Structure 1
Protein backbone atom coordinates (compact mmCIF):
# COMPACT_ATOMS: atom_id res chain seq x y z
CA UNK A 1 0.00 0.00 0.00
CA UNK A 2 1.35 3.43 -0.94
CA UNK A 3 2.17 5.76 1.93
CA UNK A 4 -0.05 8.87 2.19
CA UNK A 5 1.49 12.09 1.02
CA UNK A 6 2.09 14.95 3.41
CA UNK A 7 2.19 15.00 7.18
CA UNK A 8 -0.41 12.95 9.02
CA UNK A 9 -2.55 15.33 11.07
CA UNK A 10 -2.99 14.26 14.69
CA UNK A 11 -4.22 15.86 17.89
CA UNK A 12 -0.69 15.72 19.25
CA UNK A 13 0.72 17.55 16.24
CA UNK A 14 -1.96 20.25 16.43
CA UNK A 15 -1.24 20.78 20.14
CA UNK A 16 2.50 20.89 19.51
CA UNK A 17 2.25 23.56 16.81
CA UNK A 18 -0.31 25.59 18.77
CA UNK A 19 1.99 25.50 21.79
CA UNK A 20 4.91 26.77 19.75
CA UNK A 21 2.76 29.63 18.46
CA UNK A 22 1.60 30.61 21.96
CA UNK A 23 5.13 30.52 23.33
CA UNK A 24 6.47 32.63 20.47
CA UNK A 25 3.66 35.09 19.83
CA UNK A 26 1.02 34.82 22.54
CA UNK A 27 -2.50 33.44 22.76
CA UNK A 28 -3.79 35.85 20.12
CA UNK A 29 -1.61 34.16 17.50
CA UNK A 30 -3.65 30.97 17.63
CA UNK A 31 -6.49 30.72 15.13
CA UNK A 32 -7.78 27.84 13.07
CA UNK A 33 -6.60 29.55 9.89
CA UNK A 34 -3.10 30.20 11.27
CA UNK A 35 -2.77 26.67 12.59
CA UNK A 36 -3.90 25.20 9.30
CA UNK A 37 -1.29 27.27 7.48
CA UNK A 38 1.47 26.20 9.88
CA UNK A 39 0.43 22.56 9.57
CA UNK A 40 0.03 22.69 5.81
CA UNK A 41 -3.58 21.48 5.85
CA UNK A 42 -7.03 22.82 5.10
CA UNK A 43 -8.68 24.62 8.02
CA UNK A 44 -11.75 22.34 8.29
CA UNK A 45 -9.51 19.30 8.81
CA UNK A 46 -8.64 20.59 12.28
CA UNK A 47 -12.29 20.25 13.30
CA UNK A 48 -11.97 16.49 12.90
CA UNK A 49 -9.77 16.60 16.01
CA UNK A 50 -10.95 19.68 17.93
CA UNK A 51 -14.47 21.17 17.63
CA UNK A 52 -13.32 24.66 18.67
CA UNK A 53 -10.20 26.78 19.05
CA UNK A 54 -10.81 26.92 22.81
CA UNK A 55 -10.52 23.15 22.99
CA UNK A 56 -7.17 23.38 21.23
CA UNK A 57 -5.99 25.90 23.82
CA UNK A 58 -7.30 23.67 26.61
CA UNK A 59 -5.20 20.83 25.23
CA UNK A 60 -2.15 23.11 24.99
CA UNK A 61 -2.60 24.14 28.62
CA UNK A 62 -2.98 20.53 29.67
CA UNK A 63 0.22 19.55 27.87
CA UNK A 64 2.03 22.21 29.89
CA UNK A 65 0.54 21.02 33.20
CA UNK A 66 1.66 17.49 32.35
CA UNK A 67 5.25 18.74 32.69
CA UNK A 68 4.74 19.57 36.39
CA UNK A 69 6.20 16.99 38.79
CA UNK A 70 3.59 15.84 41.32
CA UNK A 71 5.40 12.69 42.40
CA UNK A 72 6.55 14.30 45.65
CA UNK A 73 3.22 13.63 47.36
CA UNK A 74 3.94 9.90 47.23
CA UNK A 75 7.45 10.15 48.64
CA UNK A 76 7.64 13.17 50.98
CA UNK A 77 5.92 14.68 53.98
CA UNK A 78 3.17 17.12 52.98
CA UNK A 79 5.27 20.24 53.74
CA UNK A 80 8.16 19.19 51.51
CA UNK A 81 5.78 17.86 48.88
CA UNK A 82 4.02 21.23 48.68
CA UNK A 83 7.37 23.02 48.51
CA UNK A 84 8.85 20.87 45.73
CA UNK A 85 5.61 20.75 43.75
CA UNK A 86 5.17 24.53 43.92
CA UNK A 87 8.70 25.13 42.64
CA UNK A 88 8.18 22.62 39.83
CA UNK A 89 4.83 24.20 38.92
CA UNK A 90 6.26 27.72 38.86
CA UNK A 91 9.29 26.55 36.89
CA UNK A 92 7.09 25.06 34.18
CA UNK A 93 4.95 28.20 33.96
CA UNK A 94 8.04 30.38 33.67
CA UNK A 95 9.02 28.36 30.61
CA UNK A 96 5.62 29.14 29.06
CA UNK A 97 4.73 32.64 30.34
CA UNK A 98 2.25 33.37 27.55
CA UNK A 99 0.15 30.43 28.68
CA UNK A 100 -0.30 31.53 32.29
CA UNK A 101 -3.70 33.21 31.62
CA UNK A 102 -5.03 29.83 30.50
CA UNK A 103 -4.72 28.58 34.07
CA UNK A 104 -6.76 31.36 35.67
CA UNK A 105 -10.07 29.50 35.30
CA UNK A 106 -8.98 26.23 36.91
CA UNK A 107 -8.64 22.70 35.53
CA UNK A 108 -12.06 22.37 33.91
CA UNK A 109 -12.02 18.99 32.14
CA UNK A 110 -8.30 18.94 31.36
CA UNK A 111 -7.04 15.44 32.25
CA UNK A 112 -3.50 16.37 33.37
CA UNK A 113 -4.76 19.35 35.38
CA UNK A 114 -7.40 17.22 37.08
CA UNK A 115 -4.82 14.53 37.81
CA UNK A 116 -2.57 17.15 39.40
CA UNK A 117 -5.43 18.52 41.51
CA UNK A 118 -6.38 14.99 42.55
CA UNK A 119 -2.80 14.17 43.58
CA UNK A 120 -2.37 17.35 45.61
CA UNK A 121 -5.75 17.06 47.30
CA UNK A 122 -5.24 13.37 47.97
CA UNK A 123 -1.80 14.01 49.44
CA UNK A 124 -3.18 16.62 51.81
CA UNK A 125 -6.05 14.38 52.88
CA UNK A 126 -3.60 11.54 53.51
CA UNK A 127 -1.55 13.91 55.67
CA UNK A 128 -4.57 14.48 57.92
CA UNK A 129 -5.97 17.73 56.59
CA UNK A 130 -9.78 18.01 56.68
CA UNK A 131 -11.36 18.09 53.21
CA UNK A 132 -12.37 21.75 53.44
CA UNK A 133 -8.89 22.84 54.51
CA UNK A 134 -7.27 20.66 51.83
CA UNK A 135 -9.43 22.46 49.27
CA UNK A 136 -8.38 25.84 50.65
CA UNK A 137 -4.70 24.88 50.57
CA UNK A 138 -4.91 23.67 46.98
CA UNK A 139 -6.60 26.90 45.92
CA UNK A 140 -4.12 29.01 47.87
CA UNK A 141 -1.17 27.26 46.25
CA UNK A 142 -2.59 27.78 42.77
CA UNK A 143 -3.08 31.49 43.49
CA UNK A 144 0.48 31.76 44.76
CA UNK A 145 2.10 29.92 41.87
CA UNK A 146 0.13 31.41 39.00
CA UNK A 147 0.29 34.88 40.52
CA UNK A 148 4.05 34.62 40.82
CA UNK A 149 4.29 33.54 37.18
CA UNK A 150 2.08 36.32 35.79
CA UNK A 151 4.84 38.89 35.75
CA UNK A 152 8.07 40.10 37.25
CA UNK A 153 8.03 42.47 40.22
CA UNK A 154 11.63 43.43 39.51
CA UNK A 155 10.86 44.38 35.91
CA UNK A 156 8.00 46.64 36.95
CA UNK A 157 10.22 49.59 37.79
CA UNK A 158 11.81 52.07 35.40
CA UNK A 159 15.57 51.86 34.99
CA UNK A 160 15.97 55.65 35.06
CA UNK A 161 17.05 56.69 38.59
CA UNK A 162 15.71 60.20 38.02
CA UNK A 163 12.17 58.85 38.12
CA UNK A 164 12.56 58.26 41.86
CA UNK A 165 15.31 60.65 42.93
CA UNK A 166 13.23 63.54 44.25
CA UNK A 167 9.66 62.38 44.70
CA UNK A 168 10.18 58.81 45.94
CA UNK A 169 13.24 58.79 48.22
CA UNK A 170 12.56 55.30 49.57
CA UNK A 171 12.72 53.95 46.02
CA UNK A 172 16.06 55.50 45.18
CA UNK A 173 17.50 52.08 44.31
CA UNK A 174 14.43 50.78 42.47
CA UNK A 175 16.12 51.33 39.10
CA UNK A 176 18.56 48.54 40.01
CA UNK A 177 15.91 45.87 40.50
CA UNK A 178 15.88 44.79 36.86
CA UNK A 179 19.54 43.82 37.12
CA UNK A 180 18.65 41.42 39.90
CA UNK A 181 15.41 40.09 38.46
CA UNK A 182 16.10 36.43 39.15
CA UNK A 183 17.11 36.83 42.79
CA UNK A 184 14.30 39.31 43.52
CA UNK A 185 11.50 37.33 41.91
CA UNK A 186 12.69 33.92 43.05
CA UNK A 187 13.40 35.23 46.54
CA UNK A 188 9.94 36.73 46.83
CA UNK A 189 8.29 33.51 45.69
CA UNK A 190 10.39 31.40 48.08
CA UNK A 191 9.59 33.76 50.96
CA UNK A 192 5.87 33.62 50.25
CA UNK A 193 5.94 29.86 49.92
CA UNK A 194 7.86 29.34 53.15
CA UNK A 195 5.55 31.74 54.97
CA UNK A 196 2.52 29.81 53.76
CA UNK A 197 3.98 26.44 54.70
CA UNK A 198 5.07 27.69 58.15
CA UNK A 199 1.60 29.10 58.75
CA UNK A 200 -0.02 25.84 57.69
CA UNK A 201 2.26 23.87 60.00
CA UNK A 202 1.30 26.12 62.89
CA UNK A 203 -2.38 25.72 62.02
CA UNK A 204 -2.11 21.95 61.83
CA UNK A 205 -0.31 21.85 65.17
CA UNK A 206 -3.04 23.93 66.77
CA UNK A 207 -0.90 27.04 67.24
CA UNK A 208 -3.06 29.02 64.83
CA UNK A 209 -6.78 28.75 64.24
Structure 2
Protein backbone atom coordinates (compact mmCIF):
# COMPACT_ATOMS: atom_id res chain seq x y z
CA UNK A 1 0.00 0.00 0.00
CA UNK A 2 1.13 3.58 -0.56
CA UNK A 3 1.31 6.12 2.24
CA UNK A 4 -2.12 7.54 1.40
CA UNK A 5 -3.77 4.09 1.59
CA UNK A 6 -4.12 3.47 -2.14
CA UNK A 7 -2.87 0.17 -3.47
CA UNK A 8 0.28 0.51 -5.54
CA UNK A 9 0.94 -1.21 -8.80
CA UNK A 10 1.83 -4.87 -9.00
CA UNK A 11 0.09 -8.18 -8.41
CA UNK A 12 -2.78 -8.19 -5.90
CA UNK A 13 -2.14 -9.83 -2.56
CA UNK A 14 -4.69 -12.57 -3.35
CA UNK A 15 -6.08 -13.72 -6.71
CA UNK A 16 -9.38 -12.16 -7.71
CA UNK A 17 -10.78 -15.54 -8.73
CA UNK A 18 -10.91 -18.94 -7.10
CA UNK A 19 -12.51 -22.27 -7.93
CA UNK A 20 -15.23 -21.60 -5.35
CA UNK A 21 -16.01 -18.15 -6.67
CA UNK A 22 -16.09 -19.35 -10.27
CA UNK A 23 -18.35 -22.27 -9.40
CA UNK A 24 -20.74 -20.03 -7.47
CA UNK A 25 -20.97 -17.66 -10.42
CA UNK A 26 -21.58 -20.57 -12.79
CA UNK A 27 -24.41 -21.84 -10.57
CA UNK A 28 -25.96 -18.37 -10.50
CA UNK A 29 -25.82 -18.24 -14.29
CA UNK A 30 -27.28 -21.73 -14.69
CA UNK A 31 -30.12 -21.13 -12.25
CA UNK A 32 -31.04 -17.89 -13.99
CA UNK A 33 -30.64 -18.91 -17.63
CA UNK A 34 -30.03 -22.66 -17.88
CA UNK A 35 -27.07 -24.74 -18.99
CA UNK A 36 -27.41 -23.52 -22.57
CA UNK A 37 -26.29 -20.08 -21.42
CA UNK A 38 -23.21 -21.38 -19.64
CA UNK A 39 -20.29 -20.37 -21.82
CA UNK A 40 -16.88 -19.24 -20.74
CA UNK A 41 -17.58 -15.78 -22.20
CA UNK A 42 -20.87 -15.48 -20.30
CA UNK A 43 -19.21 -16.66 -17.11
CA UNK A 44 -16.45 -14.09 -17.51
CA UNK A 45 -19.12 -11.39 -17.83
CA UNK A 46 -20.89 -12.72 -14.73
CA UNK A 47 -17.62 -12.50 -12.81
CA UNK A 48 -16.76 -9.12 -14.35
CA UNK A 49 -13.38 -10.31 -15.54
CA UNK A 50 -11.82 -10.82 -18.93
CA UNK A 51 -12.04 -14.27 -20.53
CA UNK A 52 -8.25 -14.50 -20.36
CA UNK A 53 -8.38 -14.00 -16.58
CA UNK A 54 -10.94 -16.78 -16.30
CA UNK A 55 -8.82 -19.15 -18.39
CA UNK A 56 -5.97 -18.63 -15.94
CA UNK A 57 -8.06 -20.60 -13.43
CA UNK A 58 -10.12 -23.04 -15.51
CA UNK A 59 -8.71 -24.30 -18.79
CA UNK A 60 -11.88 -25.70 -20.37
CA UNK A 61 -15.63 -25.85 -19.90
CA UNK A 62 -15.34 -29.56 -19.12
CA UNK A 63 -13.23 -28.70 -16.07
CA UNK A 64 -15.84 -26.18 -14.99
CA UNK A 65 -18.60 -28.78 -15.27
CA UNK A 66 -16.61 -31.09 -13.00
CA UNK A 67 -16.38 -28.31 -10.43
CA UNK A 68 -20.14 -27.87 -10.65
CA UNK A 69 -20.64 -31.61 -10.26
CA UNK A 70 -18.46 -31.64 -7.15
CA UNK A 71 -20.44 -28.69 -5.76
CA UNK A 72 -23.75 -30.47 -6.35
CA UNK A 73 -22.55 -33.67 -4.74
CA UNK A 74 -22.48 -31.86 -1.42
CA UNK A 75 -26.29 -31.86 -1.62
CA UNK A 76 -26.61 -35.63 -1.85
CA UNK A 77 -27.90 -37.19 1.34
CA UNK A 78 -25.31 -39.67 2.61
CA UNK A 79 -26.07 -39.07 6.27
CA UNK A 80 -28.01 -42.29 6.83
CA UNK A 81 -24.99 -44.45 6.04
CA UNK A 82 -23.62 -43.56 9.48
CA UNK A 83 -26.79 -44.43 11.41
CA UNK A 84 -29.16 -46.65 9.39
CA UNK A 85 -29.07 -50.08 7.79
CA UNK A 86 -27.20 -50.07 4.48
CA UNK A 87 -30.33 -50.66 2.37
CA UNK A 88 -32.29 -47.84 4.02
CA UNK A 89 -29.33 -45.50 3.56
CA UNK A 90 -28.85 -46.59 -0.04
CA UNK A 91 -32.46 -45.78 -0.92
CA UNK A 92 -32.21 -42.34 0.69
CA UNK A 93 -28.96 -41.62 -1.14
CA UNK A 94 -30.39 -42.82 -4.45
CA UNK A 95 -33.47 -40.61 -4.15
CA UNK A 96 -31.47 -37.50 -3.32
CA UNK A 97 -29.04 -38.33 -6.14
CA UNK A 98 -31.82 -38.72 -8.69
CA UNK A 99 -33.67 -35.60 -7.59
CA UNK A 100 -30.53 -33.45 -7.66
CA UNK A 101 -29.43 -34.51 -11.11
CA UNK A 102 -32.94 -34.44 -12.57
CA UNK A 103 -32.50 -30.67 -12.17
CA UNK A 104 -29.01 -30.80 -13.71
CA UNK A 105 -29.39 -33.41 -16.44
CA UNK A 106 -26.71 -31.86 -18.72
CA UNK A 107 -24.14 -32.95 -16.14
CA UNK A 108 -25.05 -36.64 -16.40
CA UNK A 109 -22.71 -37.37 -19.37
CA UNK A 110 -19.94 -35.57 -17.47
CA UNK A 111 -20.44 -37.72 -14.38
CA UNK A 112 -20.25 -40.92 -16.41
CA UNK A 113 -16.70 -40.29 -17.59
CA UNK A 114 -15.14 -37.76 -15.20
CA UNK A 115 -12.30 -38.94 -12.94
CA UNK A 116 -12.97 -38.04 -9.31
CA UNK A 117 -9.43 -36.89 -8.54
CA UNK A 118 -9.47 -33.23 -7.59
CA UNK A 119 -13.14 -33.43 -6.53
CA UNK A 120 -13.05 -33.51 -2.71
CA UNK A 121 -16.81 -33.50 -2.08
CA UNK A 122 -17.33 -36.34 -4.55
CA UNK A 123 -14.56 -38.36 -2.94
CA UNK A 124 -16.07 -37.77 0.51
CA UNK A 125 -19.48 -38.88 -0.77
CA UNK A 126 -18.10 -42.16 -2.10
CA UNK A 127 -16.23 -42.74 1.15
CA UNK A 128 -19.42 -42.36 3.19
CA UNK A 129 -21.32 -44.74 0.93
CA UNK A 130 -18.49 -47.29 0.85
CA UNK A 131 -18.05 -47.19 4.63
CA UNK A 132 -21.79 -47.66 5.14
CA UNK A 133 -21.86 -50.66 2.82
CA UNK A 134 -18.84 -52.16 4.54
CA UNK A 135 -20.51 -51.77 7.93
CA UNK A 136 -23.57 -53.43 6.43
CA UNK A 137 -21.56 -56.54 5.67
CA UNK A 138 -20.65 -56.00 2.03
CA UNK A 139 -17.29 -57.53 1.10
CA UNK A 140 -14.73 -55.04 -0.16
CA UNK A 141 -14.64 -56.73 -3.57
CA UNK A 142 -18.29 -55.87 -4.21
CA UNK A 143 -18.59 -52.37 -2.72
CA UNK A 144 -17.46 -50.40 -5.77
CA UNK A 145 -19.56 -52.57 -8.09
CA UNK A 146 -22.61 -51.97 -5.93
CA UNK A 147 -22.07 -48.21 -6.02
CA UNK A 148 -21.64 -48.23 -9.81
CA UNK A 149 -24.76 -50.36 -10.29
CA UNK A 150 -26.86 -47.94 -8.24
CA UNK A 151 -25.35 -44.89 -9.93
CA UNK A 152 -26.04 -46.30 -13.40
CA UNK A 153 -29.70 -46.71 -12.53
CA UNK A 154 -29.97 -43.36 -10.75
CA UNK A 155 -28.39 -41.33 -13.53
CA UNK A 156 -30.54 -42.98 -16.17
CA UNK A 157 -33.58 -42.15 -14.03
CA UNK A 158 -32.43 -38.55 -13.72
CA UNK A 159 -32.34 -38.29 -17.50
CA UNK A 160 -35.76 -39.96 -17.77
CA UNK A 161 -37.20 -37.34 -15.41
CA UNK A 162 -36.46 -34.70 -18.04
CA UNK A 163 -37.98 -36.55 -21.00
CA UNK A 164 -41.06 -35.06 -22.70
CA UNK A 165 -44.49 -36.35 -21.67
CA UNK A 166 -45.08 -37.76 -25.16
CA UNK A 167 -41.78 -39.64 -25.32
CA UNK A 168 -43.60 -42.98 -25.79
CA UNK A 169 -46.23 -41.77 -28.26
CA UNK A 170 -45.91 -44.03 -31.31
CA UNK A 171 -48.02 -41.89 -33.64
CA UNK A 172 -49.17 -43.76 -36.74
CA UNK A 173 -47.12 -46.84 -35.77
CA UNK A 174 -49.73 -48.21 -33.36
CA UNK A 175 -50.22 -51.31 -35.47
CA UNK A 176 -46.56 -52.19 -34.93
CA UNK A 177 -46.75 -51.91 -31.13
CA UNK A 178 -50.30 -52.50 -29.89
CA UNK A 179 -49.30 -54.06 -26.55
CA UNK A 180 -46.78 -51.33 -25.77
CA UNK A 181 -49.26 -48.61 -26.73
CA UNK A 182 -51.85 -50.08 -24.34
CA UNK A 183 -49.25 -50.36 -21.59
CA UNK A 184 -48.24 -46.72 -21.97
CA UNK A 185 -51.87 -45.60 -21.78
CA UNK A 186 -52.32 -47.69 -18.62
CA UNK A 187 -49.58 -45.85 -16.72
CA UNK A 188 -51.02 -44.20 -13.63
CA UNK A 189 -50.26 -41.06 -11.70
CA UNK A 190 -49.15 -37.62 -12.75
CA UNK A 191 -45.42 -38.43 -12.52
CA UNK A 192 -44.74 -41.68 -14.38
CA UNK A 193 -40.99 -41.08 -14.32
CA UNK A 194 -41.04 -41.00 -10.51
CA UNK A 195 -43.19 -44.14 -10.40
CA UNK A 196 -40.76 -45.95 -12.71
CA UNK A 197 -37.83 -44.83 -10.56
CA UNK A 198 -39.44 -46.09 -7.36
CA UNK A 199 -40.28 -49.43 -8.98
CA UNK A 200 -36.74 -49.82 -10.25
CA UNK A 201 -35.19 -48.76 -6.94
CA UNK A 202 -37.27 -51.28 -5.01
CA UNK A 203 -36.30 -54.06 -7.42
CA UNK A 204 -32.63 -53.05 -7.34
CA UNK A 205 -32.41 -52.96 -3.55
CA UNK A 206 -34.25 -56.27 -3.22
CA UNK A 207 -31.79 -57.79 -5.66
CA UNK A 208 -28.85 -56.38 -3.73
CA UNK A 209 -30.20 -57.81 -0.47
CA UNK A 210 -30.41 -61.22 -2.13
CA UNK A 211 -26.93 -60.84 -3.54
CA UNK A 212 -25.46 -59.94 -0.14
CA UNK A 213 -27.18 -62.93 1.43
CA UNK A 214 -25.75 -65.18 -1.27
CA UNK A 215 -22.17 -64.01 -0.74
CA UNK A 216 -22.42 -64.16 3.07
CA UNK A 217 -24.39 -67.39 3.60
CA UNK A 218 -23.15 -67.87 7.17
CA UNK A 219 -24.78 -64.67 8.42
* Counterpart selection for 2:57 from 38, 49, 53: 49
- The SS at the match of 1:141 is helix
The 8 Å contact of residues 155 and 181 in structure 1, kept in 2 or not, is answered as no
Shift of 1:21: 4.0
Specify which of 97, 106, 114 is matched with residue 98 of structure 1.
106
Offset of residue 123 of structure 1 = 1.0
- The yes-or-no answer on 1:67 pairing with 2:78 is no
Task: Give the CA RMSD over aligned residues.
Answer: 3.0
Q: Counterparts in 2 of 1:27-38, with a 5 A limit?
A: 29-38=37-46
Pair 1:10–1:79, CA change in 2 (3 A): same
CA distance in 2, matches of 1:2, 1:180: 65
Q: Could you tell me which residue of structure 2 aligns to residue 16 of structure 1?
A: 24
Please give the secondary structure, in 1, of the residue aligned with 2:116. Answer: coil
- Hey, what does 1:128 align to over in structure 2? 137
Larger radius of gyration: 2
- 2:146 equivalent to 1:137: yes
The structural deviation recorded for 1:29 is 4.1
Going from structure 1 to structure 2, the CA distance change for 1:107 and 1:141 (only over 3 Å counts) comes to farther
Give the Cα–Cα distance (whole angstroms) in 1 for the partners of residues 6 and 103 of structure 2: 41
Q: 2:107 & 2:30 partners in 1: Cα distance?
A: 7
Aligned partner of 1:157 in structure 2 is 168
Offset of 1:165 from its aligned partner? Answer: 4.7
Kept in 2: contact 1:202–1:208 (CA 8 A): no
What is the TM-score normalised by the length of structure 1?
Answer: 0.81
Partner of 1:114: 123
C-alpha separation in 1, matches of 2:212 and 2:94: 20
Identify if the C-alpha distance between structure 1 residues 83 and 107 changes in structure 2 by more than 3 Å, giving closer, same or farther. Answer: farther
Q: CA deviation at 1:140?
A: 0.3
**How many residues end up aligned between the 2 structures?**
201
Quote the Cα distance in structure 1 between the aligned partners of 2:102 and 2:190: 13
Distance 1:2 1:57, change over 3 A: farther
Structure 2: which 5+ residue stretches go unaligned? Answer: none
In terms of mean alpha carbon deviation, does 42-51 or 196-205 score higher?
A: 42-51
Change in 2 beyond 3 A, CA 1:175/1:202: closer
- Whole-angstrom CA distance in 2 between matches of 1:10 and 1:206: 49
Distance 2:167 2:37 in 1: 25
Q: Find the residue that maps to 2:25 and give its secondary structure.
A: helix
- How far 1:25 sits from its partner (Å)? 3.7
